[in-house]
Structure 1
Amino acid sequence: MTDAPDYRDTVFLPKTDFPMKAGLANKEPAILAKWAADDLYGKLRETRAGKPRFILHDGPPYANGDIHMGHAMNKVLKDIIVRSQSLTGKDAPYVPGWDCHGLPIEWKVEEAYRAKKLNKDEVDPVQFRAECRAYAEKWVGVQKEQFKRLGVQGDWDDPYLTMNYASEAAIVGELLKFAESGQLYRGAKPVMWSPVEKTALAEAEVEYEDITSTQIDVAFEIVESKIPELVGAYAVIWTTTPWTIPVNQALAYGPEVEYTLVELDGRKLLVSFDPALLRQIALRLVGAADHEAWLAAQYEKIVPFKGSDLAGTIARHPMHKLGGFYAKPRPLLAGDFVTTDAGTGLVHMAPDHGEDDFLLCKEHGIAPVFAVEGDGKYRADWEWLAGQGSVINPKFNAPDGPICADLRETGALLAASADFKHSYPHSWRSKAKVIFRCTPQWFIPMDKPIGDGLAPRCGEEEAILKAQGNGATLRDLALGAIQQTRWVPEKGENRITSMVAGRPDWVISRQRAWGVPIAVYVNSKTGDYLRDPAVNARIVAAFEAGGADAWFTADHQDLLGSAHDAADYEPVNDILDVWFDSGCTHAFTVEARYGIGTRADLYLEGSDQHRGWFQSSLLESCGTRGRAPYDAVLTHGFALDGQGRKMSKSQGNVVDPLKIINESGADILRLWVASTDYFEDVRIGKEILAGTSDAYRKLRNTFRYLLGALDGYSDAEKVAPAEMPELERYVLHLLASLDAELKDATAAFEFNRYARALSEFANNDLSAFFFDIRKDSLYCDAPSDPKRRAYRTVLDTLFHALVRYAAPILCFTAEEVWGTRFPDAGSVHLLTWPEVDAGWKDDDLRMRWELLRRYRVKLTGEIEPLRREKVIGSSLEVEVTALSYDAGEAALLRTVDLAELGIVAKVEVCEGDAAVAELAAGSDPIAFEVAKTEYEKCGRCWRHLPEVASDGTLCGRCETVVHG
């Protein structure tokens, strides 16, 4: 018996060296090295020179530790956007930056001191600052390499650092603009203070955690009132901060609140008459067992009266016998902020430790006393609990702690329990509780009219200010700028608007060592700070030459010059809030590199930056330029674990981006970022990454097929679209539709939509449809066959489009794909958006082929049982009868090669009878009958055709291709 001929060498199978297995973890570092050696970023700047510019201004991370998933998500998203804008032909530079000053770094250096049992305060400030600088330099270097490993392309050789001398000079220059225009003042008011870190904190440096506190009810004896019954009674206050009682100076009541007197243990108590609140008071003072009976007894004698009747009432502090501060009268003051939501309807006032307290007391001439020191202890000369604390220590505030013990001894402690659960501010860095503490600080006012005091500005800024009107405040300008900014997603506008509308004056001073000092001179006699442009210019020049250290080592007489005597001035050594530093980055990065007046096209950070960098940048720019430093702001959510929980080392659920890169490659992480709905919080875990890897594998296989199928392709094969078969023209229509979708997604920064559309096109339209149908033509038609040439022409068009579309997301893989086909053509990232003709779109063709595709899916479903039952091994063994109940659709089916479309041996289209048509009402007007064919199989193309004489011989087409 003669063996059948082997025709494998005559079949044009795809051929490529591009491997199916990616091996990204090993390949990507080599690609990075090549980019660096070729100076790809520099070449891209040269290539895009003179094109419209797109500036994404990088929000600076802190240089203090390895990157985490939040960093990775943020940087990858920025890189995708920058690369996509570059792909559209724009000049899209990316200058990475770092925040190098402030508490995060200083705290780490202090930890090293504490470990050696050394006191940072005893170290020379310049030496300590040098150690902070060295620490920041170390982590800038580490994080830089980690960000580069993610594939982030940027000016890594010249990033911006807030600790660069030029940056520090620019920061102090921006501060002095506020000073010269009168937008700076020093005042004493309560601010959030960290006793652990011994500094004021901004709202953005605070996070809220649930805690359990001691709650106490304290009685203040009333000694004077126009209501006779009140004299000798006790005003009852409720607080969850017992440590503020030693600093109490008054009580507050609500003018519209109703009050009454109740009796307890022979004493009359003044409390709110609100029934719900009175019940809460009874539960605390009497206890659950007896409170109902007690309330019933009180209701028989209650005579309510208005809070306004309490005007002029005076009480005395429970510790009045100590004399001095505690012997002074405690007036009852009307406060609109007093409610009956909780407590007793009366609020004790400590102007040192609450904003409402401070403002109300200030209105009545009651000043803070600064009893609590920076470390949270009472002053050593304080009459009660001198030198004791720390006031945030739960034991110090406990029902058996010193405060409650002393109040109990005087009989003023009516109730105390350590069971009150509530949210409380904590330092973002030390995780310790903070307090409100009145200290002298420097502020930028939100509601002071700016008028003509603003520093000189460009014409655009003058127009903005004129539109706002003379006398606009910083708050006015900021709220107006918010409305003129594009917020992505839109809900970001409402979020930042509410924050700016209600925020207090900006506290810009910190009592730290590492950072840019508030370099102003205060007149020792008047308390005013010096506003002299010549002095300010010398200060900025000194910072340019020697950085911020120049202030601490300065000959201040030299800086003041001959017009001022250094003996008359005190140099301020407080450090600027780091949010002011980062709020100035637009000045020393965007404007310094691209020209005065240039603003960023986009700021992009996590949603927490509405109260952080977005806001500090907005306020800084509005205060000095009258407008926002950005045209658009995009916010993304946070990265959570696979179960939607916040990542925490203590929970052991941290997903390390560096581990993912080392095991799977950065492109997997990049595809995950692009595939998420990053405007909300997103999840990442093993199962999610497995899904991402599968999606990547499918895209990679699409590229592998294209590379193999285009082996040996040249322009000589090209076929014009008008001469192509209908299927090819339909795929060009699909490509044109995809192109429009991706352009729209790019403009909207919606790369979830972008990645999904790209994947669905590759998987559904190409691999499962177009490639599947045309593989027979590719493998078996003659190279000169018009259909095969048209197919390869479309494949070439697809290749050039898809490799570009994928490049912003899969930056390494796209480079590998491009280099495999065009090893000498340079980087894919120098290319621009593919040339896709919008005229390829054809809605008539789309509707026709959508119907055919639906029928193809239906036919595949009918064939599957034969395959499952092993009646056939391949759909090529099937012949089909297509029963059509619609004459128009029958005609449509006869215009295409349904056998080729369905990859079957034969399709016969017949018109079904009316009875069957009636049964088919409401569904597709077509049915398929399938059976195994009796045709023999061609030995080369494996199609079952009537012309094949016996199994293994050639069909007419293959005979022509093989033998001519």
Structure 2
Amino acid sequence: MTEQRDYKDTVFLPKTDFPMKAGLPQKEPGILARWQDERIYDQIRAAREGREKFILHDGPPYANGDMHIGHALNHILKDMVVRTQTLLGKDAPYVPGWDCHGLPIEWKVEEQYRKLKKNKDEVPAEEFRAECRAYARHWVDTQREQLKRLGVGGNWDKPYLTMDFDAEATIVTELLKFAQSDMLYRGAKPVMWSPVEKTALAEAEVEYEDVVSTQIDVAFEIVESQDPDLVGAYAVIWTTTPWTIPVNQALAYGPHIDYHLIEADGRRYLIAEPLVDAFVKRLGHETHDLHFFMKGAGLEGTKVRHPMHHLGGFYAELRPMLAGDFVTTDSGTGLVHMAPDHGEDDFELCKAHGINPKFVVEADGRYREDWPWLGGQGSVINPKFTAPDGPICTDLAAVGGLLAASADYAHSYPHSWRSKAKVIYRCTPQWFVPMDKPASKSGMPQGMTLRETAEMALAHTRFVPAKGRNRIGAMVHGRPDWVLSRQRAWGVPITLFVDRKSGEYLVDEAVNARIIAAIREKGVDAWSDERAQEYLGNDYLAEDYERITDILDVWFDSGSTHAFVLESGKWPELLRPEGYKGPHADLYLEGSDQHRGWFQSSLLEACATRGQAPYKAVLTHGFTMDAKGLKMSKSLGNTISPLKVMETNGADIIRLWALSVDFTEDHRIGDEILKGVGDQYRRLRNTFRYLLGALSDFSEDERVAPEQMPELERYMLALLGALDADMRKAVADFDFNTYVRRLLDFCNEDLSAFFFDIRKDRLYCDDPADASRRAYRTVLDTLFHALVRYAAPVTVFTAEEVWGARYPDAGSVHLLEWPEVPEVEADTQRWDALRALRVKVTEAIEPLRREKTVRSSLEAEVTVPADAVPEGFSDADLAALFITATVSRGQGESVSVVKTNHHKCGRCWRHLPEVSEDGALCARCDEAIAAESAA
């Protein structure tokens, strides 16, 4: 036996400096710095100038705190939209923005004051607002750098901020459009109120938590009735808000409910029939006597007196019993006490009967000082104040009005999502936008209401997922009038003057113009008493007008962003062509909670002023839960910080996670999940590393036309065409989960486990001039150009690294457009059948490999069922495709494997009959070496 030569130096192994170890945390900041130095965003804008526009309008996050995982997901999704639309060749700018006004920021500044023992109310308003502005600026700058680090591309040098003077002036302009079109009114209605924060709240600022409250049964003596048998009996109400009893003005009954007059404990009580037993049990009795029963309609005209009637004045007035359709027999007594100051149903029913609110509870939750019962006491949300042994219950018990009380009623109750404190319904004078007033001078279609206009706009809006339409539609259909006013300091003022005599607000274009100009120059501080006469001019006297000091609901700020961001021209890249009539933005994208927040406020603002939605489509994502599906909470210690993930894993790992989950639903993240994402990333990176190595020194001279390629190469091009169609559809559907899954599956299953595996022999061992090897490398080149583009919106840093490794002087990968994929037909069903057979062959070889009967599949001689082989494949084809020594066809139904007796080629390692001894060369390798030597 002759001495074996080492032919390693004759094999054409892949060559690349592209490292398998990514080192993303160290590498990404350098790539990001280069993008900034080269102003890649500006390069992209220049490259796409004049192309079809795609405008995603950024919903503004609050500028208060570090970026959390929800921020990361949201902005990665936005970046994916912008980058994929850019890849398609569209002009898709991205202008990020921040919401800088409102309670979240004001609350944080107040917290700092409390630590310093400072009282916010003793600080000049301008000074306080300056601190709010500085606080917001700090977090804008912080979050901006964090989002840039995430690989989100955009106009970071010129974001929009709602606290910019131009923005504040535009918000005022939009408000005054409402005023000029008679779409504002001042009224007193119960609104969600935070006694801790001393302001009205919007629905979007409220969350519901489980609490345990005091439940009480209170007796109101009947003193007037059409039925004399009722006089002297007691109408009993049940409530879980004892603090509203001091403001009671009526009782409500259900006209169709059956009521029983019962006797227990020596007194007669009026109770709804289905609730008698539960009431008697709460009294501590087991039995009762029935006097008679009646329909609720018979209570018309009945009057009762308040248990505290001995206090005189307000409490001495008799309370009417009123028919209310909202009264049920689900719980309580079937009679409901009415406090129009503190309930929507209460307010509407009492208003219909001429009963007005009394404005008893102050902003901080205390009863006002002059109130005859409990004046100056509270707070009404303090459990001790409303407890069975608290002042309300003890006073009621002392006069025989309290029948039962227990602090054990578990239920869901609204809280401010900022302070986490309970909120109350409180009637205060506020500014409202009417939902059901027909348009006369507004931007809405003539005769239509804001509700109707908004519902019409929603019908023409695309929702992803589709269920979003029903969600926001139901909210718009049932929402009350929009409460615009807040009683705070940090925000855009409601810039109205109200005539002290008539109560009407002033509508004067010249006055409005002066106000807008002043705010554009000086910001919200310009709205002051000192400048009131300046704004009113010579036609009006300041002393005749009340200058409104409320600020706007912050949702009006964000709802107006389409006006000062998309339409102002401050960002020319966002302008539509002249004459454009449709909704300005192609897409709004936020969490599903924004159906009641930004999506809705933007819709209402735009419909009222422009008669249409500001967006063509709305995409919503769910919330990120921990690995167990639990809501993330600092107290539970289950939060995942994207900042820490970037420090240890890199931003591309977070991006790959965010775009591979089904973000339309609630989804999960955790260490094990991120580990799995890391494995997916490494396989994708390995695909690119192989391509780079296999394509080293590839030149256009090697290129082979598809029609001249072997069938396997044509099949792979057909698969690439199918992938390309799927990727385009995923982009159109905003289905990024499918986009990423198809990309990864193609790289792992179609390439690494199949095509690369089969053709590595041809790459390594064929003569470089061989047409089949050239065809393979041509396909690899086509794959490279497609895959690096597909990956660029997902793993933005890695794609840049890959592109630069092959084309170091060709500029950024993010300037490229969607790949041109050749249209190649192939019998994919035939190849699918062959691949299924290949899997069975691999499974049959594996036990022999584990037993070390064979060391690799190249030592295996395989027999396959003849009827399992698709037409057109020779045994030699099958051996190459299965990477075995030989393949033959048998009549059995299973695959059989034996070890070959053929010798192994010393260069390609194939076991072939023509090889005379182990280490000798096969004919192909002999020719390849000869050709290489001649070259």
Cα distance in 1, alignment partners of residues 5 and 884 from structure 2: 24
8 Å CA contact 1:936–1:949 kept in 2: the answer is yes
Give the TM-score normalised by structure 2. 0.97
Aligned equivalent of 2:347: 358
8 Å CA contact 1:351–1:361 kept in 2: the answer is yes
Amino acid at match of 1:873: R
Does residue 746 of structure 1 match 2:746?
no
Kindly state the Cα deviation for residue 5 of structure 1 after the two structures are TM-superposed: 1.1
Does residue 227 of structure 1 match 2:227?
yes
- Superposition pairs of residues 8-87 of structure 1, within 5 angstroms: 8-87=8-87
Amino acid at match of 1:587: A
Report the RMSD for the aligned CA atoms in angstroms. 1.2
Kindly state the Cα deviation for residue 81 of structure 1 after the two structures are TM-superposed: 1.0
Cα deviation 1:754-812 (Å, max 9, x = unaligned) = 00000000000000000000000000001000110000000000000000000001000
Does residue 533 of structure 1 match 2:509?
yes
Cα distance in 2, alignment partners of residues 682 and 841 from structure 1: 39
**Which of residues 914, 917, 923 in structure 2 aligns to 1:950?**
917
Does residue 760 of structure 1 match 2:745?
yes
Aligned equivalent of 2:4: 4
Kindly state the Cα deviation for residue 553 of structure 1 after the two structures are TM-superposed: 6.3
Kindly state the Cα deviation for residue 928 of structure 1 after the two structures are TM-superposed: 2.6
Cα distance in 2, alignment partners of residues 123 and 447 from structure 1: 41
8 Å CA contact 2:64–2:104 kept in 1: the answer is yes
Secondary structure of the residue that 2:421 maps to in structure 1? coil
Cα deviation 1:175-217 (Å, max 9, x = unaligned) = 0000000000011110000000000000000000000000000
Kindly state the Cα deviation for residue 595 of structure 1 after the two structures are TM-superposed: 4.0
- Superposition pairs of residues 665-680 of structure 1, within 5 angstroms: 665-680=650-665
Does residue 849 of structure 1 match 2:831?
yes
Cα deviation 1:17-52 (Å, max 9, x = unaligned) = 000010000000000000000000000000000000
Kindly state the Cα deviation for residue 908 of structure 1 after the two structures are TM-superposed: 2.2
Aligned equivalent of 1:693: 678
Kindly state the Cα deviation for residue 891 of structure 1 after the two structures are TM-superposed: 4.7
**Which of residues 507, 528, 535 in structure 2 aligns to 1:552?**
528
Does residue 806 of structure 1 match 2:782?
no
Aligned equivalent of 1:788: 773
8 Å CA contact 2:98–2:161 kept in 1: the answer is yes
Cα deviation 1:232-277 (Å, max 9, x = unaligned) = 0000000000000000011111111111201111100011112xx2
Cα distance in 1, alignment partners of residues 101 and 358 from structure 2: 32
Amino acid at match of 1:878: A
Cα distance in 2, alignment partners of residues 369 and 768 from structure 1: 77
Kindly state the Cα deviation for residue 539 of structure 1 after the two structures are TM-superposed: 1.1
Aligned equivalent of 1:370: 359
Cα deviation 1:270-317 (Å, max 9, x = unaligned) = 11112xx2222122123xxx53xx1xx43xx34221111111111000
Does residue 936 of structure 1 match 2:903?
yes
Does residue 399 of structure 1 match 2:388?
yes
Secondary structure of the residue that 1:752 maps to in structure 2? helix
**Which of residues 626, 633, 636 in structure 2 aligns to 1:641?**
626
8 Å CA contact 2:529–2:547 kept in 1: the answer is no
Identical aligned residues as a percent: 66
Amino acid at match of 1:454: S
Cα distance in 2, alignment partners of residues 812 and 500 from structure 1: 42
Cα distance in 1, alignment partners of residues 762 and 264 from structure 2: 98
Cα deviation 1:448-486 (Å, max 9, x = unaligned) = 1113x115xxxxxxxxx55xxx32110000111111100
Aligned equivalent of 2:449: 473
Cα distance in 1, alignment partners of residues 785 and 308 from structure 2: 83
Amino acid at match of 2:352: E
Secondary structure of the residue that 1:61 maps to in structure 2? coil
Cα deviation 1:474-518 (Å, max 9, x = unaligned) = 000011111110010000000001101111110010000000000
Amino acid at match of 1:516: V
Kindly state the Cα deviation for residue 882 of structure 1 after the two structures are TM-superposed: 2.9
Kindly state the Cα deviation for residue 324 of structure 1 after the two structures are TM-superposed: 1.1
Aligned equivalent of 1:583: 559
Kindly state the Cα deviation for residue 841 of structure 1 after the two structures are TM-superposed: 3.7
Does residue 722 of structure 1 match 2:696?
no
Aligned equivalent of 2:276: 278
Kindly state the Cα deviation for residue 895 of structure 1 after the two structures are TM-superposed: 7.3
Cα deviation 1:348-368 (Å, max 9, x = unaligned) = 000000011111111111111
Secondary structure of the residue that 1:741 maps to in structure 2? helix
Amino acid at match of 2:378: G
Between stretches 806-815 and 538-547, larger displacement belongs to 538-547
Cα distance in 2, alignment partners of residues 203 and 508 from structure 1: 12
**Which of residues 538, 544, 565 in structure 2 aligns to 1:568?**
544
Cα distance in 1, alignment partners of residues 222 and 925 from structure 2: 111
Cα distance in 1, alignment partners of residues 211 and 272 from structure 2: 27
Inter-CA distance 891–316: structure 2 relative to 1 (3 Å threshold): closer
8 Å CA contact 1:890–1:909 kept in 2: the answer is no
Aligned equivalent of 1:197: 197
Cα distance in 1, alignment partners of residues 743 and 718 from structure 2: 15
8 Å CA contact 2:875–2:887 kept in 1: the answer is no
Aligned equivalent of 2:236: 236
**Which of residues 393, 411, 415 in structure 2 aligns to 1:426?**
415
Amino acid at match of 2:473: T
Kindly state the Cα deviation for residue 547 of structure 1 after the two structures are TM-superposed: 1.0
Amino acid at match of 1:679: T
Tell me the matched-pair count.
922
Amino acid at match of 1:188: A
8 Å CA contact 1:737–1:841 kept in 2: the answer is no
Aligned equivalent of 1:513: 489
Gaps of at least 5 residues in structure 1 are 456-464, 921-926
**Which of residues 896, 899, 902 in structure 1 aligns to 2:882?**
902
8 Å CA contact 2:433–2:484 kept in 1: the answer is yes
8 Å CA contact 1:736–1:841 kept in 2: the answer is no
Give the TM-score normalised by structure 1. 0.95
Aligned equivalent of 2:609: 624
Aligned equivalent of 2:404: 415
8 Å CA contact 2:875–2:888 kept in 1: the answer is no
Kindly state the Cα deviation for residue 526 of structure 1 after the two structures are TM-superposed: 0.5
Amino acid at match of 2:926: E
Secondary structure of the residue that 1:942 maps to in structure 2? coil
Inter-CA distance 753–885: structure 2 relative to 1 (3 Å threshold): closer
Cα distance in 2, alignment partners of residues 616 and 623 from structure 1: 11
Does residue 774 of structure 1 match 2:762?
no
Cα distance in 1, alignment partners of residues 875 and 780 from structure 2: 24
Aligned equivalent of 1:461: none
Amino acid at match of 1:897: D
8 Å CA contact 1:171–1:584 kept in 2: the answer is yes
Inter-CA distance 953–501: structure 2 relative to 1 (3 Å threshold): same
Amino acid at match of 1:407: L
- Superposition pairs of residues 796-875 of structure 1, within 5 angstroms: 796-837=781-822, 839-842=823-826, 845-875=827-857
Cα distance in 2, alignment partners of residues 883 and 141 from structure 1: 68
Amino acid at match of 1:281: F
Gaps of at least 5 residues in structure 2 are none
Cα distance in 2, alignment partners of residues 883 and 840 from structure 1: 30
Secondary structure of the residue that 1:67 maps to in structure 2? coil
Secondary structure of the residue that 1:429 maps to in structure 2? coil
Cα distance in 2, alignment partners of residues 834 and 895 from structure 1: 36
Kindly state the Cα deviation for residue 144 of structure 1 after the two structures are TM-superposed: 0.3
Cα distance in 2, alignment partners of residues 498 and 885 from structure 1: 59
Amino acid at match of 1:371: V
Cα distance in 2, alignment partners of residues 363 and 901 from structure 1: 84
8 Å CA contact 2:236–2:271 kept in 1: the answer is yes
Secondary structure of the residue that 2:615 maps to in structure 1? coil
8 Å CA contact 1:72–1:150 kept in 2: the answer is yes
Does residue 489 of structure 1 match 2:478?
no
Cα distance in 2, alignment partners of residues 471 and 883 from structure 1: 77
Aligned equivalent of 1:459: none
Aligned equivalent of 1:458: none
